[in-house]
Structure 1
Amino acid sequence: MSSSSTSISSLLSPFQLGSLTLRNRIAVSPMCEYSAVDGVPNDWHLVHLGSRAVGGAGLVMTEASAVSAEGRISLGDAGIWNDAQAAAWQRIASFIRGQGAAAGIQLAHAGRKASTDVPWHGGKPLAADAGAWTPLAPSAIAFDQYAMPKALDDAGIQKVIADFAASARRARAAGFELIEIHAAHGYLLHEFLSPLSNRRDDEYGGSLENRARLLRAVVEAVRKEWPMPRPLSVRVSATDWVPGGWDIDECVELARWLKRDGVDLIDVSSGGNVPHVKIPLAPGYQVPFAARIRREADIATGAVGLITASQQAQEILDRGDADLVFFARELLRDPYFPRRAAKELGLEIKPPDQYLRAW
């Protein structure tokens, strides 16, 4: 593990992750903006992500960026499956780094939750005349009222692996400093992990080892394009929140394997693979999952989920439950939350030179 479990540092202390030193332990969680055109990020992404870097976060993660056109959630998703997208990301990654934050990108494939409209238009499956495409999945099992997906054959699986690898290569060229592989929230890699969405009877289905095979193959392929000690993270859903589904016991075992495969950090979320599940939402409700994975798999973890206050985040570190704290909606409400948190903890994050007169 990159940090000692017996000596927990301040929320505003540096953290070493592979070859990367983060200036603090506040991370901007990947948050879809649904504002790209043909997968190309634009000025919205520059200002949105750049303002969080100016705001003082240690790590600024992009939204889920599709590794293929069919891997998008919506037509508004950002991507990194071609060079035009990578070139647009290069400008954004450079600005983030220039503000003292680390620039990370989340690589994703939406699987059976693909081909939907943007949330503010209802988020429903696209109609054929609105640009719909056929989603891909481990098995031909639809998510709720979404379109019926096509089960991936072996050639399709190999394409997914190759797409993640090619996207990692582009991410490196674009100047990103950390890659996160999205294996959570009911998207493709999570769909393979969960026995509720994976009913395959080949080497990618059945046992935990088989259901984890695709994710581990993706990690291996990404590592060839993103060699150690460049930091690599995997976002997981620790549980499906239903009996018989993916659960924390399997997730701990997966984390042990991923550490051996060269993963540096497990970013721990939950849910998303089963519709209409009752989740016991409460402040920090997912933190115990991050704590258990950190303790039992001996790997650095990130905590996320209704974490909104500086003292709350500091207590997570004090207990040794996680190494990084990922903030999502709180950073939508206040891009300068890290500076506010520093003040509340009696510390300070150096402001940009352009803002020194205010300090």
Structure 2
Amino acid sequence: MTRVSGPVFFLCGQRWSVNGLTAVIVFLTIFSNEFLVYIIQSFRWPNLPVGSRDSSETQVILLVADPQIQGYQDEPGFPVGIISRWDIDRYLSQTFSLAHAYAKPDVVVFLGDLMDEGSKATKDEYKSYYYRFLSVFGASEKDKRVYIAGDNDIGGELRDMRKEWKMDRFEKHYDLLTGVDKVGFVDFIKMDIQTHGMPFVQKRDLAEELQKKITSPIRILVSHETVLPKAKVELYPLLRRLKPQLIFSAHWHKSIVFVCENCMVDDDYTWPVHRRNLAWMTEYMSVNLTINQKALTEVMVPTCSYRMGEKDMGYGVAVIESTGEMKYTVLWSPRRYTMLYAYLIVFVPLLLVHMYFKFLPYLMKKIHKRRK
């Protein structure tokens, strides 16, 4: 007869030791938190509204906003910093790989703030962040990519000023800050629309240069900063030249759509912009990009990182037809902080149980001696 040392439990008709039951609980918790929950979440995504994958008629765009690869300067020291960077990199890699497998995109658009400390990183730190970025988003290494710079990449927010060397460094590692990237029947227009820093005349001249390169029937302005919530007087002269039919932006870390039914006319100093929160949208919304030449829609893509202070994270997916019909949704990711709290809920009681059974014999002996 086999002896089992220590206390035992009976579960489902089976006899379990404390160590054996603990091992099973730990394994199931880690398996659920680190693997199963990601698969379950991906099953909640709506079916991709694509029939034929003919790139001349349909284009699938995967949108990545504010991944902000964590740096070294603002993170805690050893060992917390190493663990936190490893965990967010792993989270981004897993969620992006699933989103990429779901969408099988024709193009991946990175909407800025690729690095958390890109603007202030040293040369060696920047190189480290860049290679970590490539590793995290390695599932798209063979795809066509469009890169937008954010304020965390090149400066431009509060006291973090933009510098020529910061912009040069970004262009050396990623892509040009401005330009027109052509993918099939879509022109992705990259233009910095910051309302401060660059003189208006310089922006207008840049818009005129970009206008000469726009030839595709579908024109999408991609920007890190929001566009329509800004003052019309500053942006309309630029948009009138670029004539975008759709805007993708980021920066706020939220999922929002801005709709302006009468934006592309110059008979008023304001534009009536309507805002709708898309938090945890579960289906695709539809927008026709060509039916109303005066209208303009801006889709803000939420952050994909759980480190940005938002409880809802995800990746945007847009399916655009050559006819101008666009469908968009967000592929929501699991809430990582909820998963981390689950570890505390499970492991703390387990630790207390082990401590209890470890010191129980000692306490019993003490009590027995006192009674004597």
TM bin, normalised by shorter chain, reads 0.3 to 0.5
What TM-score does the superposition give when structure 1 sets the normalisation length?
A: 0.40
Structure holding more strand per residue: 2
Which of structures 1 and 2 has the bigger CA Rg? Answer: 2
